[in-house]
Amino acid sequence: MNLTQEDWIAQLEADENAVILDVRTEDECDEGIIPNAINIDIHKGQGFISEIEQLDKSKNYYVYCRSGARSAKACEIMNELGFDNAYNLLGGMLDWDGEVVTP
């Protein structure tokens, strides 16, 4: 599901079962991540799928990338793997005006 930054943040802040997932490359993450995000690079292909399959399907995943394209694809993959609760951040880090931390 695609959410605007405002909706993504509002839903995330009200969600006690939330996991923030960054699907960018390690180099991109080194430039800064949303606080408490975990990183699984979608460019890993089968490695990405293997790591996603190990995640807890009962949690809610707030997914982002640089622009929103890779995270939209990641949400599609997660839905196919049985995750009903993956939320894509429209605009990604390019439009993000919230807090950013260095990992």
Catalytic residues: 65
**pLDDT tens sequence across 26-41:** 999 999 999 999 999 9
Phi-psi region of 32 (alpha: psi -120 to 50; beta: other; left: phi over 0): left
Q: Where are the domains of the chain?
A: 2-95
Q: Which CATH number fits domain 2-95: 3.40.50.2020, 1.10.3470.10, 3.40.250.10, 3.40.50.300?
A: 3.40.250.10
Backbone angles phi, psi at 22, to 5 degrees: -100, 120
**pLDDT tens sequence across 34-76:** 999 999 999 999 999 999 999 999 999 999 999 999 999 999 9
